[in-house]
Chains A and B, each alone.
Chain A
Amino acid sequence: MTSIDPTTTTVDTDADSAASAPADTRHGVLRRTFSAKRAWIGAIVLALITLWAFVGPLLAPFNATDSDVLAFGAPPGNGHWFGTNDIGQDIYAQTLVGLQKSIIIGLIAGPLATLIAGFVGAIAGYFGGVVDRVIVWVIDLLLVIPSFFILVLISPVFKQLSWVALVILIAVFSWMVMARVVRGQTMSLRERDFVKAARYMGVKPFTIIRRHIIPNVASLLIIDATLGVGAAIIFESTLSYFGFGIQTPDVSLGSLLAGYSGAAVTRPWLFLLPAATLVATVLATSLLGDAFRDAIDPTSGANRD
């Protein structure tokens, strides 16, 4: 079919010039994220730490398990850059191995929690009714029961399993708040005309959630996933510190800190250097997540002028 009427076919040829209009594309978000100095610092530090964690052990003179009989409890120096412990194991090598585990746990557990939050929240918000009530009930239940307490209680079970079980458990206990946020967003999205339009076209509910709801809360989810990495690392460290998380022979930053906390005053290198690594890692992910949030939500904190 040809066009109907010459006068109605006038179109803007300069529609590109309107691309600077609101509702920026993903590129806009990235650009604004990295216009903040924090984002650069966070990203670079995180990249360096990750590189260090995985390449470092290859270049280190000692590995994490062997003991150096010539240096029991030695301070930093003499090839042992972070010193050694009582049985002569190299702290630097142990820190790197712990760091590896912490980063992996953080990178899996944080986004996994976000994934759960996104889907559960969207389903609750979209379907409403009984589904919503049951999900909200579960969320509230998980929120009021201290997750740390539960994990401690069931730790005998997962102590026998690998660290992967721990990752899943961490994710299972940290999606609730985000799920409530997504649910709220979904409830307002559901009333938007484009979702109604899709419904009236006969699009199936789960397709609507996948195609319309999730992309429109994606910005929230990305932020949550980034911030979640840091939170998961801390959560894992806390658990391991108290002996409920990573079990020997595996090491993580948390279990290292736990092992050497007694020596914090007498031989500070045992405690301080792994602790500093942990702080740097979490700080870097938080800086990045923070910058993300400011880029996507112009009303939050640092973006005000």
Chain B
Amino acid sequence: MTEPLLRVDDLRVTFGGQRQQVHAVRGVSYEVNRGEFLGIVGESGSGKSVSSTAVMGLLPSSAQVSGSIRFDGRELLDLDDKQLSRIRGSEIAMIFQDPLSALTPVYTIGQQIIEGLKLHDRSISNQAARARAVELLGVVGIPNPQRRVDSFPHEFSGGMRQRAMIAIAIANDPKLIIADEPTTALDVTIQAQILEVLQKAKEITGAAVVLITHDLGVVAGNADRVAVMYAGRIVEQAPVDQLFAAPAMPYTIGLLRSMPNMAAPREERLVPLEGRPPLLTQLPKGCPFADRCPAAFAACRGEEPALLPVAGAADHSAACIRAEEIASGSLRRPDIFPRPEEVEAAPAARVESAPVVELRDVKRTFPVMKGTVFRRRIGTVKAVDGVSFSIDRGTTLGLVGESGSGKTTTILELMELAKAQFGSIAVNGVDTATLSAADRRKLRSEIQIVFQDPMASLDPRMSVQDIIAEPLTVTGVPKDEQLRRVARMLELVGLEPSFANRYPHQFSGGQRQRIGIARALIVEPKILVLDEPVSALDVSVQAGVLNLLEDLKAQLGLSYLFVAHDLAVVRHIADDVAVMYLGRIVEYGPADLIFSDPRHPYTQALFSAVPVPDPQVERTRSRVLLQGDLPSPLDEITGCPFRSRCPLYKLLPEDRQRRCAEEDPAARSVHDREVRCHWAEEERFDVAV
């Protein structure tokens, strides 16, 4: 075999001065062959982005880089910035995580593509460059490229911007495309589109792709080979099937087992991978994973294991001294990370059938104003447009949908406990519109909220004791009682009671979210509103928090309103599911039923967009891809609001299409759930062609 396209050898990157050095990358070696798709997976802080930024030569000058990066026969570390600039953008292209900050807001998309073209090929004429820009936008699937080429980045949606980024990346037929978390900021439906475009771009240019991500599911369906990074090193490297079927490094095993899986049965409990990666400033001696590894023994703490081939296979290597044992089967993988036992459910759950939360036709609109001197209303955003659902005692309702579908507005309406703009909200059977201020304050102890970002939701200036006790101060609970209850709460959520006098920044993400849960639970509420409680957490700690939520529900008989965009998580935790689209619920019913047999085309598309962490499943399953983006909520839409993106609509005969265009489908009961689609009874159509 010839020399690989990219060979990174013993790459080390260190930041910081004499006092405190951060060893972000510690001896990373990998190869990328021509036309290969390599996935680099790791948690935040594992050095995956830094190692790729080093390949691009884009690290800040304060970084100390050593080792070797050979690209196409040249040593990149020996080149100066000017020489690197010639390679960047023409031979190596990069796609960044946030397409809004990666595109210059003051130039049109077309100008930015043309700039990339002309920089590397001075002979190209303006007309030819423009023609090529239009062609590229067409390739990445931007509708109407002739017109859109003159649009500015802010006129594009997130998904379209990322497409434009890919267009710029492939403009010069690069040999290597580095995509750094290209879909993390996007919704699942858009993510599926972008991954498709990335595959297409790879086919057209024949380029090799390095995809950096934290999501094993994304890698499963796309990559040929996967490298797993941990604490600045590659700890396992294997072809994708091999890695998912027979991982040899305990970290990879734990990561795979901790992921909620859409395809797995709901009853199965998640396997937590607790703790957090070591600080890169002061690494412990020996294997950096040893502190979190259930299979670690004394020898693990002696010396850091090297990345060695596993079981004689040339293409599979792992950095673990017990890799051979694991590969041969003498140390069984499920034994390393056993599935935790289920907790006994508190008796008398679901006896009372009276709903604890009931929303009936709730609407919330926001005026859109224009003008500075004379402000006038130019339109109305219907953020929530007639939402009805109810939650029974001891059950969980999962509220899912893309961003912009009105999930958050809905729960904020609920949490205000005030009179809704339109419709009615009842908590514990009491209509919130009728409450006095004192009653409302009393009712607040019945319903509590846990926010998405555990760092933002905890006041950084307060100690954990004060944070958790805050809801108690409202009702004037005496100080010693507060202390006692906080200690009990900390224990309940799996933290040491002695942590009470620490500050939030001393905790890891998962622990902070536990503090947030403890604060919500201290007033012994009946209802907990969870606004994306695990989406800001690393995959490995998600499982622990989800298990905790399940245990608490069983022990305390809580009801959850669980808002999430991650369907695999909802699949795991919810009893009922409500799918939101453009401010309304399009499908609502028991979770098992909906997940096994979705009736609304949007639900189907949403489900099929979720990547499954199993390469075999990913390759074989048929996909329902959604076209385009969520329409602007400003638009006046007649007929079915989902029509513009509906995969079913395009397949319908004309007379039926007319009904979709003219008549807004009402919610009606089909197969034991509520659906807003005229054709929900139809057998599932096949749109995967």
Q: Check A203 against B340 for contact (C-beta < 8 Å).
A: no
**Cross-chain contact of B548 among A8, A193, A201 (Cβ < 8 A):** A8
Measured in the bound complex, the distance between the Cα atoms of B511 and A18 in whole Å is 13
Q: Check B343 against A19 for contact (C-beta < 8 Å).
A: no
Q: Check B506 against A16 for contact (C-beta < 8 Å).
A: yes
Q: Check B276 against A203 for contact (C-beta < 8 Å).
A: no
Mask for B262-299, Cβ within 8 A of A = 1, else 0?
A: 00000000001011100101100000000000000000
Measured in the bound complex, the distance between the Cα atoms of B415 and A200 in whole Å is 6
> Which residue of the partner chain A has the closest CB to B281?
A20
Q: Check B491 against A194 for contact (C-beta < 8 Å).
A: no
Of the candidate stretches B445-453, B585-593, B656-664, the one touching chain A is B445-453
Q: A-side binding surface: helix, strand, loop or mixed?
A: helix
Q: How far is the CB of A217 from chain B (nearest CB, A)?
A: 10
Q: Which of B454-469 contact A (CB under 8 A)?
A: 456-462
Measured in the bound complex, the distance between the Cα atoms of B511 and A21 in whole Å is 15
In the complex, whether A31 has a CB less than 8 A from a CB of chain B is no
**Cross-chain contact of B470 among A4, A196, A201 (Cβ < 8 A):** A201
Of the candidate stretches B206-214, B324-332, B492-500, the one touching chain A is B492-500
Q: A8-B274, A12-B275 are in contact. Are A200 and B555 (CB under 8 A)?
A: no
**Cross-chain contact of B491 among A3, A19, A197 (Cβ < 8 A):** A3
Q: Check A23 against B460 for contact (C-beta < 8 Å).
A: yes
In which size bucket is the chain A interface?
A: 35 or more
Q: Check B444 against A1 for contact (C-beta < 8 Å).
A: no
CB-defined contacts of B274 to chain A, threshold 8 Å: 7-8, 10
Q: How far is the CB of B533 from chain A (nearest CB, A)?
A: 12
> Which residue of the partner chain A has the closest CB to B488?
A1
In the complex, whether B156 has a CB less than 8 A from a CB of chain A is no
In the complex, whether B627 has a CB less than 8 A from a CB of chain A is no
CB-defined contacts of A20 to chain B, threshold 8 Å: 20, 281
In the complex, whether B547 has a CB less than 8 A from a CB of chain A is yes
CB-defined contacts of B276 to chain A, threshold 8 Å: 12
CB-defined contacts of A11 to chain B, threshold 8 Å: 494-496, 499, 511
> Which residue of the partner chain B has the closest CB to A218?
B461
CB-defined contacts of B448 to chain A, threshold 8 Å: 200-201
**Cross-chain contact of B492 among A1, A197, A201, A212 (Cβ < 8 A):** A1
Q: How far is the CB of A44 from chain B (nearest CB, A)?
A: 26
> Which residue of the partner chain A has the closest CB to B341?
A5
Q: Check A7 against B491 for contact (C-beta < 8 Å).
A: no
> Which residue of the partner chain B has the closest CB to A193?
B457
Q: Which of A178-207 contact B (CB under 8 A)?
A: 192-194, 196-198, 200-204, 207
> Which residue of the partner chain A has the closest CB to B471?
A201
Q: How far is the CB of B23 from chain A (nearest CB, A)?
A: 15
Q: Check B507 against A15 for contact (C-beta < 8 Å).
A: yes
Q: Check A3 against B507 for contact (C-beta < 8 Å).
A: no
**Number of cross-chain contacts by CB at 8 Å:** 123
Q: Check B506 against A21 for contact (C-beta < 8 Å).
A: yes
Q: A10-B274, A194-B457 are in contact. Are A5 and B502 (CB under 8 A)?
A: no
In the complex, whether A17 has a CB less than 8 A from a CB of chain B is yes
In the complex, whether A2 has a CB less than 8 A from a CB of chain B is yes
Q: Check A8 against B272 for contact (C-beta < 8 Å).
A: yes
Measured in the bound complex, the distance between the Cα atoms of B523 and A196 in whole Å is 17
Mask for B485-520, Cβ within 8 A of A = 1, else 0?
A: 000100110111001001101111001000010010
Q: Check A194 against B456 for contact (C-beta < 8 Å).
A: yes
Q: How far is the CB of B280 from chain A (nearest CB, A)?
A: 12
Q: How far is the CB of B272 from chain A (nearest CB, A)?
A: 5
Q: Which of A1-59 contact B (CB under 8 A)?
A: 1-5, 7-12, 15-23, 25
Q: Check B470 against A198 for contact (C-beta < 8 Å).
A: yes
Measured in the bound complex, the distance between the Cα atoms of B506 and A62 in whole Å is 59
In the complex, whether A79 has a CB less than 8 A from a CB of chain B is no
Q: How far is the CB of B362 from chain A (nearest CB, A)?
A: 17
> Which residue of the partner chain A has the closest CB to B552?
A4
In the complex, whether B473 has a CB less than 8 A from a CB of chain A is yes
> Which residue of the partner chain B has the closest CB to A9?
B494
CB-defined contacts of B547 to chain A, threshold 8 Å: 5, 8
Q: Check B445 against A194 for contact (C-beta < 8 Å).
A: no
> Which residue of the partner chain B has the closest CB to A305?
B17
Q: How far is the CB of A153 from chain B (nearest CB, A)?
A: 33
Measured in the bound complex, the distance between the Cα atoms of B519 and A12 in whole Å is 20
Q: Check B444 against A194 for contact (C-beta < 8 Å).
A: no
In the complex, whether B544 has a CB less than 8 A from a CB of chain A is yes
**Cross-chain contact of A2 among B457, B460, B491, B502 (Cβ < 8 A):** B491
Measured in the bound complex, the distance between the Cα atoms of B471 and A12 in whole Å is 26
In the complex, whether B538 has a CB less than 8 A from a CB of chain A is no
Q: Check B457 against A201 for contact (C-beta < 8 Å).
A: no
Q: Which of A77-96 contact B (CB under 8 A)?
A: none
Q: A192-B456, A201-B474, A215-B461 are in contact. Are A5 and B551 (CB under 8 A)?
A: yes
Q: Check A5 against B441 for contact (C-beta < 8 Å).
A: no
Q: Check A212 against B275 for contact (C-beta < 8 Å).
A: no
Q: A15-B502, A202-B444 are in contact. Are A5 and B456 (CB under 8 A)?
A: no
Q: A22-B505, A25-B503 are in contact. Are A4 and B474 (CB under 8 A)?
A: no
**Cross-chain contact of B505 among A18, A198, A211 (Cβ < 8 A):** A18
**Cross-chain contact of A216 among B281, B461, B544 (Cβ < 8 A):** B461
Q: How far is the CB of B294 from chain A (nearest CB, A)?
A: 9
Q: How far is the CB of A216 from chain B (nearest CB, A)?
A: 6
Q: How far is the CB of A14 from chain B (nearest CB, A)?
A: 9
> Which residue of the partner chain B has the closest CB to A214?
B461
Q: A197-B519, A202-B474 are in contact. Are A1 and B491 (CB under 8 A)?
A: yes
Q: Check B473 against A203 for contact (C-beta < 8 Å).
A: yes
Measured in the bound complex, the distance between the Cα atoms of B473 and A207 in whole Å is 10
Q: Which of B538-555 contact A (CB under 8 A)?
A: 544, 547-548, 551-552, 555
Measured in the bound complex, the distance between the Cα atoms of B512 and A12 in whole Å is 12
CB-defined contacts of B460 to chain A, threshold 8 Å: 23, 216
Measured in the bound complex, the distance between the Cα atoms of B494 and A12 in whole Å is 11
Q: Which of B176-202 contact A (CB under 8 A)?
A: none
In the complex, whether B130 has a CB less than 8 A from a CB of chain A is no
Measured in the bound complex, the distance between the Cα atoms of B497 and A2 in whole Å is 12
Measured in the bound complex, the distance between the Cα atoms of B632 and A19 in whole Å is 45
Q: Check B451 against A196 for contact (C-beta < 8 Å).
A: yes
CB-defined contacts of A201 to chain B, threshold 8 Å: 444, 448, 470-471, 474, 523
Q: Check B458 against A202 for contact (C-beta < 8 Å).
A: no
CB-defined contacts of B508 to chain A, threshold 8 Å: 12, 18
Measured in the bound complex, the distance between the Cα atoms of B516 and A193 in whole Å is 11
CB-defined contacts of B440 to chain A, threshold 8 Å: 202
> Which residue of the partner chain A has the closest CB to B452?
A193
CB-defined contacts of A2 to chain B, threshold 8 Å: 491
> Which residue of the partner chain A has the closest CB to B475?
A202
CB-defined contacts of B444 to chain A, threshold 8 Å: 200-202
Q: How far is the CB of B250 from chain A (nearest CB, A)?
A: 14
Known interface pairs A10-B275, A197-B451; 11 further A-B residue pairs with C-beta atoms within 8 A, sorted by A's residue number: A3-B492, A4-B494, A4-B555, A8-B494, A12-B507, A15-B499, A23-B460, A194-B456, A194-B458, A211-B470, A215-B461
5 cross-chain CB contacts under 8 A: A1-B492, A5-B494, A194-B458, A201-B474, A202-B471
